[in-house]
């Protein structure tokens, strides 16, 4: 095994990892450890330094960024699995995690709805997958009024990105749908955040970054079932046309929402996107990711993402994937009791509940836009607690964490295999 100091010293000699010591593990366990080792080796070396002016800074290019590793693998394991394929898969996932981290770390004057749309379109072209981007005019025709209301104060127009790996050979397979919240910068709108609370709000699109990157990883690793990614993107700003408290929005679903806090905007763009996606693609499973609530951070600290779903089976499978890739989730309640707090005197719903249990009321709000027959196939992940690593440690680097990419990839394959077994 490699010592903790193996990559801390500059050396021209390659480091050697001998997996023959794993003989007491099963092949499946050895493969899992090998994959984790390769991913962790790369992920821990990530740095976001494109805006540093000192190109020779030792902080920017530490010796540990460059290394060579020789892995000695037991002959029996070589015969029973394609090691090169395994390493390529790990490399593809690593690259997608890096994409997610890069997106989250970009400054908001560089990454906005137009520049993100361009980047995603280029990615889709290189992957040879379907990409459609709805602009403001199209969203207006579609009556995506919740997305447009959040966007009303911004100079960058709202968009909704749809990625789809549709092929004739996966038409009759199961469909896995991911939806990611993409608030490119959240000022709070007219319910303005305090200056300190606004720091880091460039990361309020971490859900979008994760979904885009997980989609990329699934395509690169040869995911054979159909996967659809829906990403609504906008700023939440304070321009002259900005959404106001007490506005009533007629959402895409037909339900009306009274706005009592313009800083509860993520659930508004998600409610339109989720309702559209479920009706359009009839998915067998839907997972949405969002940096949705500060309440989730209060509940879980910065160690777990919040998991909400009415389905015990779906929750357990997500938790298994969570443990498998070391991206921790904790299941929180989404009982009907939380729906009472969302009742409005003048509309079908209001966009916030009481000051308590905010993560659960936000999840319950989203559930109202999932048709009842699909609710047992839907899960919401509140990744506000884990969107950012506050320090570099292990496979995490300070800044955007890329949390959820590896989790979604593992879960998607688990879901696909589960559906195949049932068939």
Helix, strand, or coil (residue 330): strand
CA distance 251 to 43: 40
CA distance 230 to 212: 9
Catalytic-role residue among 60, 140, 193, 414: 193
Catalytic-role residue among 99, 220, 267, 364: 267
Q: Are 227 and 165 in contact (CB under 8 A)?
A: yes
CA distance 35 to 93: 10
The encoded tokens of residue 45 equal 């070396």
CA distance 301 to 298: 6
Element holding 365 (H helix, E strand):
helix 358-367
Q: Are 178 and 287 in contact (CB under 8 A)?
A: yes
In sequence order, which residues have a C-beta less than 8 Å from that of residue 286 and are 6 or more positions away? 177, 178, 179, 274, 277, 278, 370, 374, 377, 378, 379
> CB-side exposure of 236: number of CA atoms within 13 Å?
32
How far from 201 is each of 143, 163, 423, CA to CA, in Å? 27, 25, 44
For residue 159, report the phi and psi dihedrals to the nearest 5 degrees.
-140, 160
Which residues are bridge partners to 18 per DSSP?
A: 72
Which residues are bridge partners to 178 per DSSP?
A: 229, 287
Cα 336 to the center of its chain, rounded Å? 26
Q: Are 275 and 370 in contact (CB under 8 A)?
A: yes
267 flagged as catalytic: yes
The encoded tokens of residue 323 equal 């443990």
398 flagged as catalytic: no
Cα 355 to the center of its chain, rounded Å? 26
The encoded tokens of residue 3 equal 């010592």
Q: Are 175 and 363 in contact (CB under 8 A)?
A: no
Q: Looking at the annotation, which residues are catalytic?
A: 193, 267
């Amino acid at each position: 095994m490699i010592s903790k100091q193996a990559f801390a010293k500059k050396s021209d000699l390659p480091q050697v990892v001998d997996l023959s010591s794993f003989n007491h593990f099963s092949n499946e366990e050895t493969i899992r450890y090998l994959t984790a080792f390769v991913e962790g080796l790369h992920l821990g070396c990530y740095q976001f330094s494109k805006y540093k002016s000192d190109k020779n800074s030792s902080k920017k290019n530490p010796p540990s960024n460059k290394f060579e590793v020789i892995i000695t693998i037991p002959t029996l394991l070589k015969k029973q699995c394609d090691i090169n394929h395994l390493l390529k898969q790990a490399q593809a996932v690593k690259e997608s995690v890096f994409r997610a981290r890069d997106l989250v770390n970009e400054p908001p004057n560089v990454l906005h709805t137009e520049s993100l749309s361009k980047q995603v379109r280029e990615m889709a072209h290189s992957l040879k997958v379907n990409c459609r981007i709805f602009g403001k005019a199209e969203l207006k025709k579609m009556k995506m009024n919740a997305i447009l209301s959040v966007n009303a104060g911004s100079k960058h127009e709202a968009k909704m990105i749809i990625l789809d790996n549709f092929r004739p050979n996966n038409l009759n397979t199961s469909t896995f749908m991911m939806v990611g919240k993409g608030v490119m910068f959240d000022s709070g709108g007219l319910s303005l955040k305090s200056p300190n609370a606004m720091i880091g709000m460039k990361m309020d699109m971490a859900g979008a970054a994760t979904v885009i990157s997980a989609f990329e990883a699934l395509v690169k690793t040869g995911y054979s079932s159909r996967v659809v990614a829906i990403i609504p993107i906008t700023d939440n700003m304070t321009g002259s046309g900005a959404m106001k408290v007490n506005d009533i929005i007629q959402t895409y679903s037909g339900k009306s929402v009274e706005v009592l806090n313009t800083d509860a905007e993520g659930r508004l763009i998600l409610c339109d996107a989720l309702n559209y996606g479920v009706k359009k693609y009839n998915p067998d499973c839907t997972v949405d990711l969002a940096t949705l609530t500060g309440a989730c951070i209060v509940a879980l600290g910065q160690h777990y993402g919040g998991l909400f779903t009415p389905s015990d089976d779906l929750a357990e499978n997500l938790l298994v994937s969570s443990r498998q890739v070391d991206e921790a989730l904790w299941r929180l309640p989404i009982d009907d009791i939380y729906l009472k707090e969302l009742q409005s005197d003048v509309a079908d719903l209001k966009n916030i509940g009481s000051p308590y249990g905010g993560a659960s009321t936000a999840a319950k709000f989203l559930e109202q836009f999932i048709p009842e027959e699909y609710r047992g196939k839907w899960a919401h992940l509140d990744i506000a607690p884990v969107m950012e690593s506050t320090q570099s440690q292990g496979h995490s680097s300070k800044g955007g964490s890329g949390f959820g990419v590896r989790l979604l990839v593992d879960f998607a394959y688990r879901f696909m295999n589960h559906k195949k077994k049932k068939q």
